[in-house]
Each structure stands twice: as structure tokens, then as C-alpha cells.
């Protein structure tokens, strides 16, 4: 890519200058680059939230885009740092803690190797999915000078690696290939004779609750949904048409619970992990 693109996703916020420090670390190493902020407003240490946002956005970028994601509760610990490359040409840099789960499964809502016997969104180790490659970042080989702090790997490790990749380095120059990485447990909805039961996997700033029920799993025809304290009937054509609480297949491709002009999370008492049952 003539003018490489690097996106940034984090839970740093914008009050303390952390995103700017990451950008400085990239631009001081490679100036001919386009930097895109996906978001820096991921709730603190909420890896699943960051994964959902990145996964629904990344696939819209040109092949060769480098996505640097830092939601890293384990910073300074023994958790691994990785580069991963998907079959669509997108490249990911960040901690090996599940932050790339939705990038691996952007539309199905099911993570490879997931299980209903494991807690929802719990991290687990699994083999690298078919079509993907991953490398463990060798810190000593990529940071030739300076000290890597124990509290800010976004600036001291992940941004420099993103810069190296943007400058033309191959992932093989960053570290050794690995055969497994960490994903978050997204087993998809459980099926029953008369419908299925999914879970809320993400709540946006409007209070809309995205479930793990992908569009192709929504029952055809009319159905009833139980979401929190409310029984809902069928799909709405738009947010406005429900005139209250409703269900819609939103732009991210999953069934979403919403309240016209309000917050489904507040009015229906919904939180991430809550069940949403559909009955035909």
C-alpha cells in the first residue's frame, strides 16, 4: 500500500494524551502513513467491547490496513503480544487477550473453538483458524533502543510494531509464528424446538443492545422476543417505527434490542451477557 493506513482502538480516552503518544511513536518512525482513530472510548479494560467495535469496523478498510488495538488489562504481565493477519488482508497488532475475536468472526457471532460449557465472553486458547496467521512479537528484536515501560505498551511496543509494518516490514520480521491465540467465548445462540436463546454481547452509547444472534439466524416470519423485562413482537422496519421497545437487524448484522428515543439498556434493564429468547 503506497500510503499505509494504521487504525487505533483503545480504552485510553482523550483526556490524558495517551492516543497522541501512540501517534507520535508511529509518526516518528514512518511519516507517510494515514492514522485513523476507530475509538479511544472503549470502557476501561473492557476487551469484549473493544473487540466488537474493531471487528465491525475493520472489514470495511482496504486490504493491508494495520489495526493497532490496545485494551490491555494485562499490560506488564506475561501475556503475549501478537501480530495477526486475516484472509481478507487485514493485519492486527495488540495484546493476545481476545481483542481480535470479532475480527476473526465478524458476521457469524461464533468464535472458533467456543463452547456453551464455557462462560460467555470468557477468554480461552484455541488453534489459529484456517486462513489466519499469527506471530508472537519479539520485543528485543523490534525495539532497538529505549525502554519498554511496564504500563504503556501502546506507546512503547504496539505503536512501534505498527510503524514497522506500515514501513514495509513483514510480520515474520517481527517475531516467530504461533499456532494458537486467545479468543473470547462466543458460542452463538442455543437452539430450541420453538426458537433460540441468544445473549447481549454489546451495548452502544445509545443504549441499544446488540445480541449474538446473527441476521441469518433470526427466525423467518413472525416471532416473539423476551428481552429483560419486556416481551417484544417481531422485527421493526426502523428505530422510529416501533414507537417504544423493538427488535431490528442493525447495521453490524446482529439482532438488536432498542427503544425509540430512549435506552434499551436502561428501560429494559439489559446488560452484556443477559439472555434474549426468541420464540416462533
Q: What is the mean pLDDT of residues 62-80?
A: 94
Of the pLDDT bands very low, low, confident and very high (cuts 50, 70, 90), residue 194 is confident
If asked whether residues 27 and 123 sit together in one domain, one would say yes
CATH code, 12: 3.40.50.10790
Do 68 and 6 touch, CB atoms closer than 8 A?
Answer: yes
H-only helix segments in the chain:
18-27, 47-58, 101-104, 139-142, 153, 159-166, 264-267
If asked whether residues 55 and 129 sit together in one domain, one would say yes
Nearest to 50 by CA among 189, 154, 175, 169: 154
If asked whether residues 104 and 135 sit together in one domain, one would say yes
If asked whether residues 163 and 41 sit together in one domain, one would say yes
Q: What is the mean pLDDT of residues 75-96?
A: 95
Does pLDDT of 7 surpass 70?
yes
Domain count, the chain: 2
What pTM did the predictor assign? 0.94
CATH code, 215: 2.40.30.90
Q: How far is CA 32 from the centre of its chain?
A: 27
Last residue of a domain, one of 184, 207, 231: 184
The better pLDDT of the pair 150, 162 is held by: 162
Q: Which three cell numbers stand for residue 159?
A: 505503536
Lowest mean pLDDT of 11-20, 115-124, 236-245, 263-272, name the range.
236-245
Tell me: the pLDDT tens digits for 103-157?
998 888 899 999 999 999 999 999 999 999 999 999 887 876 667 888 999 999 9
If asked whether residues 212 and 262 sit together in one domain, one would say yes
If asked whether residues 154 and 237 sit together in one domain, one would say no
Domain encompassing residue 58? 5-184
Q: What is the mean pLDDT of residues 57-79?
A: 95
Nearest to 275 by CA among 200, 214, 217: 200
User: Strands of 81-85's sheet, edge to edge?
Assistant: 34-39, 5-10, 66-70, 91-95, 81-85, 133-137, 175-177
Q: What is the mean pLDDT of residues 45-57?
A: 97
The dihedral sign for the CA sequence 72, 78, 81, 82: negative
Q: How far is CA 201 from the centre of its chain?
A: 11
H-only helix segments in 90-142:
101-104, 139-142
Of the pLDDT bands very low, low, confident and very high (cuts 50, 70, 90), residue 249 is very high
Q: How far is CA 241 from the centre of its chain?
A: 30
If asked whether residues 138 and 237 sit together in one domain, one would say no
Q: Which three cell numbers stand for residue 168?
A: 514495509
202 vs 136, 192, 193, 264, CA distance in Å?
29, 23, 26, 12
CA–CA dist 153, 81 (Å, integer): 9
Last residue of a domain, one of 153, 184, 215: 184
CA–CA dist 217, 170 (Å, integer): 38
If asked whether residues 158 and 216 sit together in one domain, one would say no
If asked whether residues 174 and 199 sit together in one domain, one would say no
CA–CA dist 75, 33 (Å, integer): 26
DSSP E strand boundaries for the chain: 5-10, 34-39, 66-70, 81-85, 91-95, 123-127, 133-137, 175-177, 180-184, 190-192, 195-203, 209-214, 224-227, 230-233, 245-249, 254-259, 275-279
Residue 144 has a pLDDT of: 66
Last residue of a domain, one of 159, 184, 209: 184
If asked whether residues 194 and 165 sit together in one domain, one would say no
Please, what is the average pLDDT of the chain?
Answer: 93
If asked whether residues 151 and 35 sit together in one domain, one would say yes
If asked whether residues 143 and 22 sit together in one domain, one would say yes
As beta bridge partners, residue 180 has: 127
Amino acid at each position: 500500500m503506497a500510503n499505509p493506513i494504521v487504525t487505533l482502538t483503545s480504552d485510553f480516552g482523550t483526556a490524558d494524551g495517551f492516543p497522541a503518544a501512540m501517534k507520535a511513536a508511529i509518526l516518528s518512525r514512518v511519516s507517510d502513513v494515514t492514522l485513523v482513530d476507530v475509538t479511544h472510548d472503549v470502557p476501561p479494560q473492557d476487551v469484549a467491547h473493544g473487540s466488537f467495535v474493531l471487528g465491525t469496523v475493520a472489514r470495511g478498510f482496504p486490504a493491508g490496513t494495520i489495526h493497532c488495538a490496545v485494551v490491555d488489562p494485562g499490560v506488564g504481565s506475561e501475556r503475549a503480544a501478537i501480530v495477526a493477519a486475516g484472509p481478507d488482508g487485514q493485519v492486527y497488532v495488540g495484546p493476545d487477550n481476545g481483542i481480535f475475536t470479532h475480527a476473526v468472526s465478524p458476521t457469524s457471532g461464533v468464535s472458533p473453538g467456543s463452547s456453551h460449557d464455557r462462560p460467555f465472553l470468557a477468554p480461552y486458547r484455541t488453534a489459529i483458524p484456517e486462513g489466519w496467521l499469527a506471530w508472537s512479537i519479539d520485543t528485543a528484536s523490534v525495539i532497538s533502543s529505549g525502554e519498554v515501560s511496564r504500563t504503556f505498551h501502546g506507546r512503547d511496543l504496539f505503536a512501534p510494531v505498527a510503524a514497522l509494518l506500515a514501513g514495509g516490514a513483514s510480520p515474520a520480521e517481527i517475531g516467530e509464528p504461533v499456532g494458537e491465540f486467545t479468543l473470547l467465548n462466543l458460542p452463538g445462540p442455543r437452539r430450541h424446538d420453538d426458537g433460540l436463546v441468544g445473549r447481549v454481547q454489546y451495548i452502544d452509547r445509545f443504549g441499544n443492545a446488540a445480541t449474538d444472534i446473527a441476521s441469518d439466524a433470526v427466525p423467518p416470519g413472525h416471532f416473539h422476543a423476551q428481552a429483560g423485562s419486556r416481551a417484544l413482537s417481531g422485527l421493526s422496519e426502523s428505530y422510529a417505527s416501533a414507537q417504544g421497545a423493538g427488535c431490528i437487524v442493525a447495521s453490524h448484522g446482529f439482532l438488536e434490542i432498542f427503544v425509540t428515543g430512549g435506552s434499551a439498556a436502561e428501560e429494559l434493564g439489559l446488560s452484556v451477557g443477559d439472555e434474549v429468547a426468541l420464540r416462533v
